[in-house]
């Protein structure tokens, strides 16, 4: 009798009970992780879509998690690293003065003047890499390799106006907000699978230094740049000349690095011509500086 009851209770009941308990506790752990993951995802979605702000220059509602002063601070923090990466600042002050004069003329005669951005223009001592770029908050850079190929002040205005366009349209901060959303979602997946979140900061800095904009951002910056050129008294058709220089530099031995951040100059010319046409339907006036 005792043997039967032993068999019945220990092997026949208890053991399967304990087997049942183990998978069910696993299930509740998984469920807790899943709920945590969902909570992180919801919070990151709310913080992304809750961070909307109106941009008066572009007339768009944007999703940006950084305050303007944080954006300016991040740009200033990354500045020395970028200057070093491109061989320091160009030593001839008269060339730097020209970059400053044209850059500040565009800012002060356009809508960019009323914005909070802290504009600074830097001529970089890199004679190999044809490039220009802007950091969030107003730090604008042009390499000597590009500067040296420009044929007129208007072309320099074209390059700088485009970069000022990236700053006022807050393309960098928008990218970071999107990256933040992505990070939040990755974090949610990691919480959901119980893995450690690593390398987030390294990724953020990497994104900032190797900022790549989409085609829409580039076209919007071209459009804004054209407006700033006209406000500054420059012939917007000079920007087409810049596109030709960029296309040429693609064929040479120089690293066409500009194209990683500014793709397809040929296709942009058509859009630039359309933008000029929309500002001057009766043709570009003659008094503008080439
Ligand atoms: Zn650009």
Cα 174 to averaged position of ligand 1 atoms, centre (Å): 14
Measure CA 167 to chain center. Answer: 10
126 and 117 in contact (C-beta within 8 Å)?
no
Using the mean position of ligand 1's atoms as its centre, give its distance from the Cα of residue 158 in Å: 11
Q: Provide, for the chain, the percentages of residues in helix, strand and coil under a 3-state DSSP scheme, each rounded to the nearest 5.
A: 65, 10, 25
Half-sphere exposure of 171 (CA within 13 A, CB side): 23
Whether the CA torsion 16, 21, 27, 29 is positive or negative: it is: negative
Strand partners, 61: 54
Residue 225 Cα to ligand 1 middle (Å): 10
Please tell me the predicted confidence (pLDDT) of residue 163: 95
- Residues whose CB is less than 8 angstroms from the CB of residue 69 and which lie 6 or more positions away in sequence, other chains included: none
pLDDT given for residue 266 in this prediction:
67
CA of 214 to the centre of ligand 1 (A): 9
Helices (H) and strands (E) in the chain, counts: 12, 5
Positions of the chain with pLDDT lower than 50, given as ranges: 1-20, 194-199, 201-202, 205-206, 209, 253-257
User: Residue 135 belongs to what H/E stretch?
Assistant: strand 132-135
What's the gap in Å between 262 CA and the centre of ligand 1? Answer: 5
Q: How far is the CA of 199 from the centre of ligand 1 (A)?
A: 27
Taking only the tens place, the pLDDT of each residue in 210-266 is 556 777 888 899 999 999 999 999 999 999 999 989 888 876 544 444 555 566 676
- How far is ligand 1, taken at its centre, from the CA of residue 160, in Å? 10
Q: From the CA of 166, how far away is ligand 1's center (Å)? A: 7
What tokens were used for 140?
Answer: 């604008």
pLDDT for res 281: 96
Alpha carbons 190 and 45: distance in angstroms, whole number: 16
Q: Are strands 60-63 and 132-135 parallel, antiparallel or unpaired?
A: unpaired
């Amino acid at each position: 009798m005792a043997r039967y009851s032993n068999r019945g209770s220990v092997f026949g009941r208890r053991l399967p009970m304990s087997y049942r308990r183990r998978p069910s506790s696993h299930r509740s752990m998984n469920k807790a992780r899943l709920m945590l993951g969902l909570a992180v995802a919801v919070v990151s979605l709310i913080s992304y879509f809750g961070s909307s702000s109106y941009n008066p220059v572009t007339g768009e509602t944007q999703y940006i998690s950084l305050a303007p002063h944080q954006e300016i601070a991040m740009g200033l923090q990354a500045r020395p690293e970028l200057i070093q990466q491109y061989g320091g600042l160009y030593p001839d002050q008269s060339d730097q003065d020209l970059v400053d004069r044209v850059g500040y003329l565009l800012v002060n005669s356009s809508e960019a003047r009323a914005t909070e951005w802290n504009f600074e223009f830097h001529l970089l001592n890199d004679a190999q890499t044809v490039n220009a770029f802007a950091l969030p908050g107003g730090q604008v850079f042009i390499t000597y390799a590009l500067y040296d190929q420009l044929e007129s002040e208007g072309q320099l205005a074209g390059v700088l106006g485009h970069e000022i366009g990236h700053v006022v349209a807050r393309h960098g901060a928008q990218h970071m907000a999107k990256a933040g959303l992505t990070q939040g979602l990755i974090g949610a997946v990691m919480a959901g699978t119980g893995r450690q979140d690593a390398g987030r900061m390294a990724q953020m800095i990497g994104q900032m230094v190797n900022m790549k904009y989409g085609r829409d951002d580039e076209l919007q910056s071209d459009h804004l740049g054209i407006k700033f050129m006209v406000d500054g008294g420059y012939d917007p058709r000079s920007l087409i000349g810049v596109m030709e220089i960029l296309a040429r530099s693609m064929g040479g031995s120089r690293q066409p690095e500009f194209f990683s951040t500014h793709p397809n100059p040929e296709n942009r010319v058509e859009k630039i011509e359309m933008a000029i046409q929309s500002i001057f339907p009766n043709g570009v006036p003659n008094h503008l500086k080439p």
